[in-house]
Structures are given as structure tokens and as C-alpha cells.
């Protein structure tokens, strides 16, 4: 298990990672950060665990990760951000982590709206943002990150959908070094983003995605909306062209249709598109 000392050695971030709690096993690092935030913990505190017994992802999913092989941690933020810009927070995290991965490995991890990172169309990292509001004000934000680093085996058919830095390069990565690079990039982008209500994140995100002009399907409960991605709105929504009109999505499960327009045409309606899905 990592010690705080080992993780902080050579840390370039000044505030993020100022205090790092490490656990062998915990329910969820996001839960732990919430508990710390509720008793007044300062911005930048990090909780890292080798194993989570109740690690969770978006939309009620479970986050599975092999102990000692990956990074699963959370950071506390107390940003001054308008409620309008809250949806830009996952995009900010995705950009910072993608940049850290690139600096550390040379790999380009693509941003998939709203909060995934993909390498070669497979998920390498997931981001879970949870926030607490008090009297209509954002009290704090918990940024949870699961990054597949050295894991080589994925169960339950996950191998088609998930990857790791080691699977992509054949190399083992120093997880402590990677964590320090991520914290540094999170802090650098944050310092810049808070100055303009997180709007500066948009061009960075657009330069790290390949979703633009791609046909996608968004499912929101029983609703399924299909369209072609045309951009991001200023408040972090995904803008789609659907049936000749523009529509902005703020939530949902996104499936990028295969990079083959012919398949998309054949798929026609959302009931038939299953064969063309590249479900992540």
C-alpha cells in the first residue's frame, strides 16, 4: 500500500494532494471525501484506495478495479463556479487527466462526453463528479477517478470495452508518478478555469475528442435520441443535429456509432442500430 510520503515525494501541485489519505480497502473514495468535506476539509485533499468494496460509476453502475494495479482516488474541490457551468466540471477533469496521460505515456486518451476517457475506442478511465449544494450554492465537489493503469485482465466481457495503459503499451507504469502528474494537471487547469467560470475548458475538450461529426445515440431512461454531434454548448451540453434540428443534451448514456457512415445509414432508426453500436 502507498504511503502519503511516497505519493507526495516530488509532487509539483501546490494545493491538490496537500493532504493524501491512503487506504488498502474502503467502501468508496468518493464517500470518504464527502465525509471529510462535511467536517470542513480543505480543497485539494485526496483519498486513494487500493480496493473499493462499493466503488461506483455513473448511472448507478459499479466500478471494478484490480487492487495494486490501477488508480482509484478522489479529490475535494470547493470551486467558485456558477450553477450554469457545473456541467463543465467533468469536461475539465477529462481534459486534465487526458493531458496527464499523454505527458506520462505518450498515449492520446480521447474525451468522450460527458466523463469518460477512451484509448482506441475502449474505456481507460471514468470520472464520477458528485456535488453538494447548500442554499442554492455549490458547497463542494467530489472528483472521483478510476484509471486503468497496469491491469491486464478484464472479466465479464469487459475486455472488448475496457483497456489499460499497460495493455496499450506493453509497459508497466509507476502509479505514484502518474498520480502526481494527474494532480499537477488537475491543479493547473483548475487555476486557469476558475478565472473564467470554466469556459476555457471547452476548446481544450474539443481538441481532445473525436466525437464531433460522429453519429451517436443517447439514452435517457426510456428515451433514445440519435443524432450527429456538432459541438458543445457554453454550459457543457452536447449539441446534436437530430432530424434537421439542433438539440442540446445534458445527461444520458452515450453510444458512439461505429466510425462508418454506411452502417449508420443502414441502421436507420434507433430500434435497428444495435449491430452498429460500439457500446462503451
Q: Given the rule CB under 6 A, which residues bind ligand BTN?
A: 28-30, 52, 55-58, 61, 63, 72-74, 116, 126-128, 144-146
Beta-sheet pairing, 20-26 with 46-52: parallel
Nearer to ligand BTN, 30 or 105 (CB): 30
Nearer to ligand BTN, 127 or 273 (CB): 127
CB of 141 vs ligand BTN, minimal distance in Å: 13
* Cα 196 to chain centroid, rounded: 21
User: How many whole angstroms separate alpha carbon 147 and alpha carbon 134?
Assistant: 30
CB atoms within 10 A of CB 110: 18
CB of 242 vs ligand BTN, minimal distance in Å: 25
CB of 163 vs ligand BTN, minimal distance in Å: 13
CB of 61 vs ligand BTN, minimal distance in Å: 6
CB atoms within 10 A of CB 175: 20
Nearer to ligand BTN, 29 or 264 (CB): 29
CB of 44 vs ligand BTN, minimal distance in Å: 16
Nearer to ligand BTN, 126 or 267 (CB): 126
Nearer to ligand BTN, 9 or 61 (CB): 61
Shortest-Cβ-distance residue relative to ligand BTN: 126
User: How many whole angstroms separate alpha carbon 114 and alpha carbon 250?
Assistant: 8
CB of 221 vs ligand BTN, minimal distance in Å: 17
Nearer to ligand BTN, 166 or 264 (CB): 166
3-state secondary structure the chain: CCCHHHHHCCCCCCCCCCCEEEEEEECCHHHHHHHHHHCCCCCCCEEEEEEECCCECHHHCECCCCCCCCEEEEEEECCCCCHHHHHHHHHHHHHHHHHHHHHHHCCCCEEECCCEEEECCEEEEEEEEEEEEECCEEEEEEEEEEECCCCCCCCCCHHHCECCHHHHHCCCCCHHHHHHHHHHHHHHHHHHHHHHCCCCHHHHHHHCCCCCCCEEEEEECCEEEEEEEEEECCCCCEEEEECCEEEEECCCEEEEECCCHHHHHHHCCCCCHHHHEECC
CB of 90 vs ligand BTN, minimal distance in Å: 9
Nearer to ligand BTN, 64 or 225 (CB): 64
CB of 126 vs ligand BTN, minimal distance in Å: 2
Amino acid at each position: 500500500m502507498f504511503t502519503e510520503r511516497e505519493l507526495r515525494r516530488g509532487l509539483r501541485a501546490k494545493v491538490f494532494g496537500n493532504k493524501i489519505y491512503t487506504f488498502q480497502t474502503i467502501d468508496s473514495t468518493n464517500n470518504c471525501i464527502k465525509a471529510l468535506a462535511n467536517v470542513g476539509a480543505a480543497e485539494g485533499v485526496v483519498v486513494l484506495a487500493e480496493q473499493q468494496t462499493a466503488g461506483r460509476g455513473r448511472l448507478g453502475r459499479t466500478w471494478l478495479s484490480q487492487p495494486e494495479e490501477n488508480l482509484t482516488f478522489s479529490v475535494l474541490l470547493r470551486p467558485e463556479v456558477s450553477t450554469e457551468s457545473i456541467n463543465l466540471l467533468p469536461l475539465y477533469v477529462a481534459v486534465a487527466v487526458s493531458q496527464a496521460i499523454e505527458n506520462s505515456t505518450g498515449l492520446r486518451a480521447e474525451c468522450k462526453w460527458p466523463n469518460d476517457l477512451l484509448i482506441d475506442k475502449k474505456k481507460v478511465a471514468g470520472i464520477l463528479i458528485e456535488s453538494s449544494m447548500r442554499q442554492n450554492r455549490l458547497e463542494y465537489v467530489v472528483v472521483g477517478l478510476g484509471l486503468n493503469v497496469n491491469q491486464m485482465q478484464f472479466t465479464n466481457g469487459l475486455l472488448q470495452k475496457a483497456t489499460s495503459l499497460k495493455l496499450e503499451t506493453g509497459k508497466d507504469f509507476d502509479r505514484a508518478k502518474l498520480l502526481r502528474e494527474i494532480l499537477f494537471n488537475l491543479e493547473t487547469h483548475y487555476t486557469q478555469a476558475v478565472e473564467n467560470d470554466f469556459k476555457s475548458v471547452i476548446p481544450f475538450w474539443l481538441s481532445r475528442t473525436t466525437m464531433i461529426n460522429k453519429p451517436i445515440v443517447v439514452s435517457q431512461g426510456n428515451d433514445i435520441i440519435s443524432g450527429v454531434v456538432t459541438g458543445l454548448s457554453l454550459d457543457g451540453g452536447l449539441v446534436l443535429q437530430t432530424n434537421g434540428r439542433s438539440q442540446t443534451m445534458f445527461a444520458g448514456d452515450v453510444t458512439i456509432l461505429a466510425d462508418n457512415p454506411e452502417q449508420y445509414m443502414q441502421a436507420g432508426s434507433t430500434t435497428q442500430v444495435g449491430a452498429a453500436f460500439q457500446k462503451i
